[in-house]
Amino acid sequence: MTTLTPPAAIAFAKTLIPGLLVTALVAMAAAFLGSHYKGSMLLFALLLGLALHFISEDKRCAAGIQFASSTVLRLGVALLGLRLTIDHVVALGWQTVVALMVAVTLTIALGLLLARLFKVESSLGVLIGGATAICGASAALAISSVLPKTPHLERDTTLTVVGVTTLSTAAMVVYPLITQWLGFDAVMAGQFIGATIHDVAQVVGAGYSLSPQAGDAATITKLMRVAFLMPVLVVISLVVRKRLADAGSAVKTPLLPWFTVAFVVLMLVNSTGWVPSAVQSGASNVSQAFLVLAIAGVGLKTSLKDVTQLGWRPVAMIFLVTLGLAFLTGGYLMATH
């Protein structure tokens, strides 16, 4: 790892400023739209970024936009650790934890299976399966950061983020109605919502729209899904590392991405009860801001023309994987209650 001298560090920081300012403006506009129109800030950030893609072609902005979509993303994912404690796992019970583990595994496997059936790259199947199984756009970005850098990775990531965020927003409205139609009680409804809706914000909105009890169950279940992000990233990193080694590639990937270690450390620290609630709340807000900033950067880097050339297959994959997770979760809840 190269250590920058103070003058070099200042010069490097100056190269980041133009791109970071542009990305921050896009993120702030997305936050404004999200808060005033009750939509997803992440989706707004991505769409605004796509519309302003031409800015990324300015060399003065390239470094800052890249920094936002990579380093800032990793910091945002690491800070998610302060949302979790070991108590969340205990509160769910081992049976629910195992069921969620199976659901996450099968959902990612379904993404890979559909990628093979639709004859698209397996990395797209991993992105779609992982984003659907864990925590939507945040998971898509985190998984993308540990996959091999291919010419189409950013385009695939953008499409996955758009798809899962759009479906997550729709699910926030539809899934509470489905739980009532199925006759689920408050806890079952919360568990269904927490285990199936992609993004945390939509889970909270959908759960508490039913009742405080359903909202609590939905939030705890969702946070447990978020906790699976780290093991999934580690497994993907190990697989990528092995494939690169088998192919004789000289490219080296870290055994454990640094932000996964930071995530686990922060979760363990948070489990001690020593972290004040104000710090937890502040870290959650910073994490959300970083993720919006990162997605704005991803949008700015991505050509909308490239995304539209993908065709119907990835869209069908996102829909089918989302539907598969909903059927799997609903069937489990009805069979065990």
Q: How far is CA 67 from the centre of its chain?
A: 18
Q: What are phi and psi of 101, to 5 degrees?
A: -60, -45
Q: How many CB atoms lie within 10 A of CB 176?
A: 23
Please report where in the chains the tokens 């946070």 appear, as a residue: 223
Concatenate the DSSP letters of all residues of 39-96 into one string: --HHHHHHHHHHHTGGGGGSHHHHHHHHHIIIIIHHHHHHHGGGG--HHHHHHH-HHH
118-146 tens-digit pLDDT: 999 999 999 999 999 998 888 898 898 88
Of residues 113 and 173, more confidently modeled: 113
85-95 tens-digit pLDDT: 888 777 777 88
Please report, as a single letter, which amino acid is at residue 149: K
Question: Quick one: which of 302, 259, 256, 262 has its CA closest to 142?
Answer: 259
Q: How many CB atoms lie within 10 A of CB 177?
A: 11
Q: What is the pTM of this model?
A: 0.79
274-286 tens-digit pLDDT: 889 999 899 988 9
Provide the terminal-to-terminal Cα distance of the chain, rounded to the nearest Å. 54
Residue 155 to residue 313: CA distance in whole angstroms:
14
Please report, as a single letter, which amino acid is at residue 68: A
- DSSP 8-state class, residue 247: T
For 177-200, what is the mean pLDDT? 90
